[in-house]
Structure 1
Amino acid sequence: MASKESEAVRQHWAAARVAFEQQTSEGDQELADHQWAGLTSEPPDVDYLSVQGRPAVWIVPHDATSDRVLLCLHGGGYVGGSRVSHRKLFAHLARAVGVRALVFDYPLAPEHAHPAQLDDTVDTYRWLLDQGIAAEHILFTGDSVGGAMAITTQLRARSIGLPLPAGAMPFSPAVDFEAAGASYDANRERDAFFDRDLVRGLASLFLGTDGSPDDPFVNPSYGDLTGLGPIYIQVGGDEVLLDDAQLLAAAAEKAGVEVRLDVFPEMQHTFQMAAGRAPEADDAIERMARWARPVLGL
């Protein structure tokens, strides 16, 4: 049975659904980010350092090794989310792994359509490499659409000759903007936020007039994942996006990539946001940390 603490995530998504249907204005985005961040406790023994000239924050746990980095890609349907909403979540993860993390803001739709988000993320990855961090010491992680970009960024980086990172930890990855998965029906009454119409509406904002949901840089299951580092995927059992995670895992396995998929029963989309409060979120963070350390050579 789901813990009472995890109920806060369900309540958050139910309220977010109401706000979405009322077409919350752009001016409310900062408030929405703070409400999202409110799900997560403030982890102890972590410093936050602004990055000069970039909309980014270094997350530095007090005992972190300095030469390994998590590149953190926030979710928000490509229309919301920020380093403000996700700073504490990724701080919990960085602290558990024992490494630094970088979380940054990328351009949002509808003002910036695909591939603006991907281009900015690749640029941030290139910047990290230019700081002297070896590619094999960088691990991508992200939730929802950030989870998708944890894979699509690798495909784009490879296409322009950049080295691949050590691996990726997408959780609740949103990859299927055609919303074709059977879990949209099976979990329709359990998912507090998403349904097919909502996801396809987000797709129209994100893809604009020229983008396509079967673009491998949108849905990596259409791409060639051969040669990518290991992938660890987490997803909530009550999500309509459950099949997105399974689709990504199947594509990776078919390409010969080492992949692990953990489904957490009764959990909502990005339930890890309750880190420091809900036992299921803390368990998920610790599983990611145990998986990440050997991938990073720790």
Structure 2
Amino acid sequence: MAPNEIDAIRALLSSKPRPVGWAARRERLDEVGSLWAPASDIAFEPADMNGAPGEWSIAPGSDASRVLLFFHGGGYCSGSIVSHRRMVTEAGRAARARTLAVGYRLAPEYPFPAALEDGLKAWRYLRDQGIDADRIAVGGDSAGGGLTVALINHLRGAGEEPPACAWLVSPWTDLTMSGATLETKDAVDPLIHKDYLRELATAYLAGSVDPKDPRVSPLYADLRGFPPVLIQVGAAETLLDDATRFAAAAGAANVSTTLEIWPHMIHAWPIWNAHLQPGRAALINAGGFIARHI
């Protein structure tokens, strides 16, 4: 990595004041996430997943029978197919698989369980297409990582076959916000801070769900029987403890768990893979992990 690459991303993120209001926050995340367009060789196709919007993408040479189902981050309140398009498509290229990005409903307009319901719609859509569970990987970043775990746990609880593996980037796994790095990494994280997370959690839970409920805080879930999981997290982010504690919980439950802590990286750094070598490297690692399991 060139020494100034991550500094350039930090400068991009701090180039404007933090927006106020849900609409402005959503616009800003779409703006910074889509600054670099997906590669010109990616083919796209919209999907209607039983009422939930989605987007198929595939890179040349990929196996269309293998699918990465992806949930974007944004604290359950922002983020979109647009903001994460470059990250999703390059992950699919690395995994040599089709990707299906999910545009799930956002809080506060649609609090829990709307996002999980849309995740289930996407899963049912894939299965109704005749795609076997062991040909599907599920992944997401930040809140999308938490949603990934919530979906898989729901499937296991219902006695359904889970996906082949899970990929979590900077996952938000604890809406009680008890991780020590929320304090110790606050000064170096340019994006995620405790007060901001508290606002997001309040919007998502809408006063009706215990923040320790494993459906919203998968750190507290029973993970026995969970499929193999790859967790990638930056050393310079406040959610570092959310990732490391989840990895420990998964390992203690005899889940095949791979934890990568990337030096100097910030929250969800693979979004900016077009101009960030560690972002590209993380996606290559994720692609290899997914390809081995599906």
TM-score range, shorter chain: over 0.9
- Name the CA distance, whole Å, in 2 between partners of 1:2 and 1:262: 20
| Matching residue of 1:9 | 9
> What TM-score do you get using the length of structure 2 for normalisation?
0.94
Amino acid at match of 1:95: R
Does the residue aligned with 1:84 lie in a helix, a strand or coil? coil
Stretch deviating more after TM superposition (275-284 or 228-237): 275-284
Return the offset for 1:291.
Answer: 1.5
Aligned 8 A contact 2:57 2:99 in 1: yes
Answering whether residue 26 of structure 2 is matched by residue 29 of structure 1, we say yes
| Matching residue of 1:49 | 45
Shift in alpha-carbon separation, 1:13–1:211, aligned structure 2, 3 A: farther
Amino acid at match of 2:218: P
Does the residue aligned with 1:56 lie in a helix, a strand or coil? strand
Return the offset for 1:15.
Answer: 4.9
Q: CA RMSD in A?
A: 1.7
Return the offset for 1:27.
Answer: 6.0
Among 233, 236, 239, the residue aligned to 1:235: 233
| Matching residue of 1:141 | 139
Q: For residues 106-126 of structure 1, what are the alpha-carbon distances to aligned partners after superposition, in whole Å with 9 as ceiling and x for unaligned?
A: 110001111111111012111
- Name the CA distance, whole Å, in 1 between partners of 2:22 and 2:170: 26
- Name the CA distance, whole Å, in 1 between partners of 2:255 and 2:2: 32
Does the residue aligned with 1:233 lie in a helix, a strand or coil? strand
- Aligned pairs for 1:32-111 within 5 A: 32-38=29-35, 40-52=36-48, 54-111=52-109
| Matching residue of 2:260 | 262
Aligned 8 A contact 2:13 2:32 in 1: no
Return the offset for 1:31.
Answer: 5.3
- Name the CA distance, whole Å, in 2 between partners of 1:295 and 1:33: 31
Amino acid at match of 1:182: A
Q: For residues 205-253 of structure 1, what are the alpha-carbon distances to aligned partners after superposition, in whole Å with 9 as ceiling and x for unaligned?
A: 1110101211111111211111111000000100010000011101100
> What TM-score do you get using the length of structure 1 for normalisation?
0.93
Return the offset for 1:32.
Answer: 3.7
Stretch deviating more after TM superposition (250-259 or 27-36): 27-36
Return the offset for 1:44.
Answer: 4.1
Amino acid at match of 2:31: H
Aligned 8 A contact 1:12 1:36 in 2: no
Count of matched residue positions in the alignment of Structure 1 and Structure 2: 292
Does the residue aligned with 2:83 lie in a helix, a strand or coil? helix
Q: Which has the higher contact order (CA 8 A, sep 6+)?
A: 1
Does the residue aligned with 2:168 lie in a helix, a strand or coil? strand
Show structure 2 runs of 5+ residues with no match: none
- Name the CA distance, whole Å, in 1 between partners of 2:2 and 2:264: 6
Does the residue aligned with 2:231 lie in a helix, a strand or coil? strand
- Name the CA distance, whole Å, in 1 between partners of 2:93 and 2:103: 21
Amino acid at match of 1:98: R
Shift in alpha-carbon separation, 1:3–1:93, aligned structure 2, 3 A: farther
Does the residue aligned with 2:44 lie in a helix, a strand or coil? strand
Shift in alpha-carbon separation, 1:2–1:157, aligned structure 2, 3 A: farther
Q: For residues 146-191 of structure 1, what are the alpha-carbon distances to aligned partners after superposition, in whole Å with 9 as ceiling and x for unaligned?
A: 0111111101122233310001010000111121111122211100
Aligned 8 A contact 1:3 1:278 in 2: no
Show structure 1 runs of 5+ residues with no match: none
Answering whether residue 289 of structure 2 is matched by residue 291 of structure 1, we say yes
Does the residue aligned with 1:120 lie in a helix, a strand or coil? helix
Percent identity at matched positions? 34
